[in-house]
Amino acid sequence: MTISNLTVTIKSMRASNTTKFHLTEDARRWAALAATALTVLVIGLDTTILNVALPDIAVDLGASNAQLQWFADSYLLVLGALLLPAGMLGDRYGRKRFTVGGLVVFGAGSLWCALATSASGLIGARTLLGVGAAVLIPLAMSSVVVLFEAHERTRAIGVIGASTMLGLPLGPILAGVLLQHYWWGAVFLVNLPVIAVALVAVATLLPESTGDRGRRLDLVGILLSSGALAAATFGVIEGPERGWSDTLVLAGLIGGGALGGGFVRWQQCDRGLEPVVDPALWGEPAFRWGGVTAATASLAFFGAMFVVPQYLRGVLGADALGTGLRSIPMVVGLLVGLRTTMALLPRFGSRTLGAAGFAIGAAAFVLGSRVTVESGYLVTGIWTFAVGSGVGAALFCGQNCALGALPRARAATGSALIQALRQVGSVLGIAVLGALLNAVYRSGLPVGGTGGLSAGQVAALGQNVTSGVAGAARSGSAALERAVQSAFVGGLSATLWVSAAVCLAGACLVWVALPDDRVTSRGEAAVPAQPAQEAQSSHALDAAAD
C-alpha cells in the first residue's frame, strides 16, 4: 500500500467515525434522558410506597402518631425548602455534577431508611431523602432544556412526566408485594439498584453544562426563598392535624408569606448578584402562566391521589396490593392524555388542549362525586381514568409551555421554580382537600341517640376511614360499618366537588393567560411565545451557556 493510498484510507476511516458519531449522538441524548427519567421514577415510587409500609413501621419502631406523620412530612418539608437553591446551584456549578451528587444522597438516604432502628432515625433518613429529591427533580427537568431543541422538548417532557406519574401507583403495588415476603426496610432497598443504573447512565451519557457563572451567589435570596417555602410548607402540612388557628400553623403561614414578600422585594433590586429567580424569566408570560397551570393541575391531581386509595381500601375493601392495582386506570389515563396531547399540540396548542384537559377533569370529578357505598369499582375506574387523561393533559401543557420559554442558561433554576410551584400545589391539594375530607367524614358519623357513637368512639373511628371501618368491623355491627362508609363517601363527594371547581378555574386561567402556541401550516407559531426583544435575550443566554 502506497503512502497516498494509506492517507486516503485514514481519511476514509476518520470520515466513517465522524459519521458514526453523528448517527449515534441522537441516541445518546435520548439515553441520557432515559437515565434522568429513572431518577424521577424512583422519587415517584418513594412518594407513595411509604404509606403502605407505615403500619409495619409503627409496630416495629414503636412510633407514635406524630412520628408517623413526620415520616412523610420531614421529606416534604426539606424538598419544598431546597428546590429553588438546588436548581440555582446546579446551574452555577454543573448540572451533571449535582445530579450525580443527588443520586448518591438519595441512595444513602434509602439505605439509612432501610436500616433505621428508631423512629427518630427514620425521620432523619427521610430528611436526607428530601435533600436528594430536591436536587434531582429540577435537574431532571432541566435536562430537557439542555439536551433538546425547542421542537423536540414536547416528546422529552412527555417521557419525564410519564416517569414521574408512573411511580405513584407502582409504589403501593411494589410495597404490597415486598411486604408479603420481606420486612418493611425492603421498600426502601428497592431504590438502590435503580439508583445504581441511573448513576452509571448519568455519569457516562449526560453532558456537563452550566449557566451564568459571572456573578456572585445571592445568599440572602437563597435564605429568604428557602425559609419562605419551608415555613409555608410546614403550615400547610400541620394545618389539618393541629387546626388552622393553631399558633404554630399560623406562624408558619404568616412567616412564610412575610419571607416570601421579602424575597420578592429583594429580587427586584439589582445588586449585581445572580438572582434566585430571574425577574426577566418570571416576566415571560409563557413561563409564568405555564408554571401556574402546572401547579393548579398538581393541586387537583394529588388531591385525587390522596382520597382515591382511601376509598378503595375503606369502602371497596381492597387490600394494599389491590389498591395499587385499582389505581392503574388513573395512570393509564395519564399516559393516554400525554400521548394524545403530544400528537395534537402542534395543531391546537397548549391553550386549547390545556383548557380542554381541565374541562375533562372537572367532568370526571363531578362523576366521581356521585358514587355511593353501593357503587362498584367500574364507575371508579371510569372516572379515575378520565381524571388522569384530563388533568394529566393540562399538567403537560403547562409544563411544556413553561419549559419551552426557558433559555439553557437558566435551565435548572427555571425548572426548579416550576417544580416548586408544583410542589406547593401538591401539598395544598393533599392538605386542604384532606382536611375537608376528614371534616365532612367526622361530621357524618352518627353521634348520640339510638345506635349513635359516643365522643370517644367518634375520636377513635374518625382518624381515617380505614381505621374507622376496621373498628366498626370489630364491633360486629354491620349498620355501624355502613354508617362509617357512608360518612366517608360524603367527605369524598365534597372533596371531588372542590376538585371540579379547581379544574374549572384552571380551564378559565389557561384560556385567558396561556399564549397561543399552535403551529400554522407554514410551520410558525400562531402567536410568538416571547416578544422579539425577550427572544433575543433568551438566545443570547443560550449562546453564553453553550
pLDDT per residue over 207-230, tens digit each? 777 665 556 777 888 888 888 888
Cβ-contact 252, 229 below 8 angstroms: no
- Of 99 and 541, which is predicted with more confidence? 99
Task: Report which of 240, 237, 234 is spatially closest to residue 462, judged by C-alpha positions.
Answer: 240
- Report whether pLDDT(360) > 80: yes
- Of 52 and 77, which is predicted with more confidence? 77
- Report whether pLDDT(59) > 80: no
How high does pLDDT run on average in the chain? 77
Least confident span in 130-134, 222-226, 402-406, 496-500? 402-406
Question: How far apart (Å, rounded) are the C-alpha atoms in residues 338 and 344?
Answer: 10
- Report whether pLDDT(541) > 60: no
Confidence of residue 529 (pLDDT cuts 50, 70, 90): very low
- Report whether pLDDT(385) > 90: yes
Paired residues of 453 in beta bridges: 447
Question: How far apart (Å, rounded) are the C-alpha atoms in residues 7 and 359?
Answer: 66
What would the pLDDT profile of 367-381 be if each residue is shown by its tens digit?
999 988 888 889 999
* Mean pLDDT, residues 27-37 taken together: 79
- Alpha carbon of 16 to those of 2, 13, 21, 27, 28: distances in Å? 21, 5, 9, 17, 18
Q: Return the number of other C-beta atoms located less than 10 Å from residue 38's C-beta.
A: 20
Q: What is the model's pLDDT at position 447?
A: 63
Q: What is the model's pLDDT at position 506?
A: 94
- Provide, rounded to the nearest whole percent, the portion of the chain with pLDDT above 90: 16
Q: What is the model's pLDDT at position 124?
A: 92
What would the pLDDT profile of 235-293 be if each residue is shown by its tens digit?
877 776 777 888 988 998 899 899 988 888 887 776 667 677 777 777 788 888 998 99
Least confident span in 191-195, 213-217, 401-405, 532-536? 532-536
SS3 of 273, please? strand
Residue 274, C-alpha cell as written in the block: 445572580
* Mean pLDDT, residues 286-315 taken together: 85
Write b or e for each residue in 361-378: b if 16 or more Cβ atoms lie within 10 A of its Cβ, otherwise e. Answer: bbbbbbbbbebeeeeeee
Confidence of residue 448 (pLDDT cuts 50, 70, 90): low
Residue type (1 letter), 113: C
**Complete domains list, the chain, with CATH:** 30-214 (1.20.1250.20), 277-538 (1.20.1250.20)
The region, left, alpha or beta by phi > 0 then psi within -120 to 50, assigned to residue 62 is: left
- Report whether pLDDT(534) > 80: no
